[in-house]
């Protein structure tokens, strides 16, 4: 699936943010975040912006990392 899910998984793992915490902060169901992280569904463009906003509220560095990894041209964000 898409890069957004990979970037989100990496950010949540790196910054020790739970899927539930992000979902609550964003005002969405945890199942949505779970689908994005597990790459069963790609977030739409608007959701990517909302993910960034949610991460910004939790940890501004995580928001920056998410966008960086999402926009990165390399396929493997795990190496970072």
Structure tokens of 6?
């990979």
Domains of the chain from N-terminus onward: 3-79 (1.10.260)
> What pLDDT does residue 2 have?
79
Q: What region does 54 belong to: left with phi over 0, alpha with psi -120 to 50, or beta?
A: alpha
> What pLDDT does residue 73 have?
66
Span 55-72, pLDDT tens digits: 999 999 999 999 999 998
Q: What is the pTM of this model?
A: 0.86
Q: What percent of the chain has a predicted confidence (pLDDT) above 70? A: 89
């Amino acid at each position: 699936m898409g890069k957004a899910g990979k970037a989100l998984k990496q950010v949540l793992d790196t910054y020790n943010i739970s899927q539930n915490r992000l979902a609550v902060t964003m005002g969405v169901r945890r199942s949505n975040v779970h689908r994005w992280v597990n790459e069963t569904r790609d977030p739409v463009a608007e959701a990517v912006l909302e993910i960034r906003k949610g991460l910004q509220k939790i940890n501004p560095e995580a928001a920056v990392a998410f966008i960086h990894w999402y926009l990165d041209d390399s396929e493997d964000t795990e190496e970072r």
